Amino acid sequence: MTRMTTPGAPQADDPQPPVGTPGDGRRPSSTSRGSRPDGRPARLVDVELAEEDATAADERTAAPHGPAQPERRSARLVRRWWRPVAIGLAVTLVTASVIAARRESARLASLTNVDGVVAPLKGPPHAGWSTTTAVWSTPIETAGRVVYATQRADGGMAVVALDARTGTEDWRTPLGAPASDTSASLTGTCVAVTASGQPVRHLVACLAGLFLFGGSASDTPNVIATSTDLELIDAASGVVVKDLPTAPATAIGRIGPDLVRAEVTADGHLRVVRTSPLSSTSRWTFTSPAAWATVDASNLGISVVAGRILVHGGATAWSVLSADGAAIRSSEQVASSGRVSGFTGTQLFTESPSSTAGASRTEVLDLGTGTSFTVEGYPTGPFPDDGSLPDVILTQTGAALLASDAATGAHRWSTPLSNGGQVMVIDERVVIDDPNSLRAIDGRSGSVTWEQHGATRVDHSAVTDGSVVVCVVSKPDGTVDMTAYGLTDGVPRWTIAAPSLTRTLTTMGRRLVTVAEDRLTVWG
């Protein structure tokens, strides 16, 4: 509505002709000229056009000469202030959304170095490349290549590197271990290490071992390591840059960029060496004070967790070292140490002497204090495990998953778990993939937060990127689907077809992989 005000206008006894009469088609103007009755020209009158709000119009219509009612004044105040309040609320919501998004990005970034967590999927993946080359060691990814050991046509071992983007074979390098026959077993381990320098050199350390299995007069099987071969290979070219001497019983691992090598010497002692890969001198060497008991050479292994190194002999002999080679604790210091069954960096799990047939128990040793307690079951070894439940120990009996207090061993909660069921720990949740159920449990209370029932899952193999849990499910018609469920709510996010005859879902570095008979497919 437009209101015309005329400061200094004539009085009522000096009438002015209307500037515009409703319906005459003329619009008011800011300056008008008319004629007086006596014929003299009327003086020019300046007018001001002003916008009038709806509230003022309502007040004049209802009470043109009276004051505004209190409720009308309140309505006017509400109308005056609603806009800045709405703007403030919108800004608050946008700010909260940005903060939440940043926190989620930081949480996902923290999972980058957690083994078994794939890169964010951001929707249904697509099938990338495939290979039929048999995989004989855990694949590693370095220098833009996927590297693993495989068996040669003559029964020996080779290392293969595939372009991580296309799957094209970049190089294939034979290892020096001799070919195996029907009475021997060939094993391989590869780890990615880095040689300092300008530029930094990416290398792959690969160990091949040949073992003979035999029996004794008491028909107790034993293992004899006949030969091992350890080579450093340039990850870009496949050229062998160094051939390292080894003892028959040797294991390798990695800590930081360095290579850690463990071996049992001819006189039975454990020797552990940490070296920069191409250096001629070691950073440190540890030798056990006493000789180890009989070592199962094929099971000598190294685990590096939280900067601590566990070397175990496959039986009851073990030692835990710090990153700088200092001895933290060994089996010699424990009165009754069974076979090693788990390692967290701060605690060591071994089979308890109190175990009986059908009722296994686990001895939990605090590596710092040397104190221990016993819990029911055997360690589940959740995978992946982001370390978000450090105060909880998960063990498994024949039909249940048990949660115990990590400091005291006190029982917290339990839930059904079939043999072969998979367990992972992500964001304080325990995700269980059973034959006919996928469910998430609050890791501290044991309450089920969501559960999905469906067709038979394949190999109980679930994979996560930290936002969704992906499973492969075989359907009655023989086809296989890959479905993602929200980690927080279990709601399906997407479903796509997987290759026929898919028998497992796994990871390669941070990549999602399906395995169907002899074909491995990488998804991106």
Report whether the peptide linkage leading into residue 199 is cis, meaning its omega lies within 30 degrees of zero: yes
Structure tokens at 330: 């060994």
Question: Per-residue DSSP letters for 450-476?
Answer: EEEE-SPEEEEEEEE-SSEEEEEEE-T
Model pLDDT, residue 28: 44
CA atoms within 13 A on the CB side of 345: 8
Model pLDDT, residue 2: 37
Distance of CA 459 to the CA centre of its chain: 20
Model pLDDT, residue 73: 62
Nearest to 300 by CA among 308, 292, 369: 292
Q: How far apart are CA 384 and CA 113, in angstroms?
A: 11
Name, in order, each residue with C-beta under 8 angstroms of 255's C-beta and a sequence gap of 6 or more. 274, 304, 307, 309, 323
Q: Which residue has the tokens 């997407």?
A: 494
| Residue 297 DSSP class | G
Model pLDDT, residue 246: 87
Nearest to 167 by CA among 137, 139, 129, 127: 129
Neighbour tally for 177: CB within 10 Å: 24
**480 DSSP β-pair partners:** 474
Q: List the chain pLDDT tens, one digit each, 524 residues.
A: 433 343 444 444 444 444 444 444 444 444 444 444 444 444 444 444 444 444 444 444 444 444 556 666 666 655 666 667 777 777 677 667 777 777 767 877 888 889 899 999 989 999 999 998 888 888 899 999 999 998 888 878 899 999 999 999 999 999 876 666 655 677 889 999 999 877 889 999 999 887 766 654 445 555 565 668 899 999 999 999 999 888 888 999 999 999 999 998 888 899 999 999 998 899 999 999 988 876 766 678 999 998 999 999 867 889 999 999 999 999 888 866 688 999 999 999 999 887 777 688 999 999 999 999 999 999 998 999 999 999 999 999 988 999 999 999 999 999 999 877 889 999 999 999 987 789 999 999 999 999 998 766 666 689 999 999 999 888 888 888 999 999 999 999 999 999 888 888 889 888 999 988 778 899 98
Q: How far apart are CA 446 and CA 296, in angstroms?
A: 39
**Which amino acid makes up residue 38?**
D
The CA–CA distances, whole Å, from 45 to 26, 30, 34, 54 equal 18, 8, 10, 27
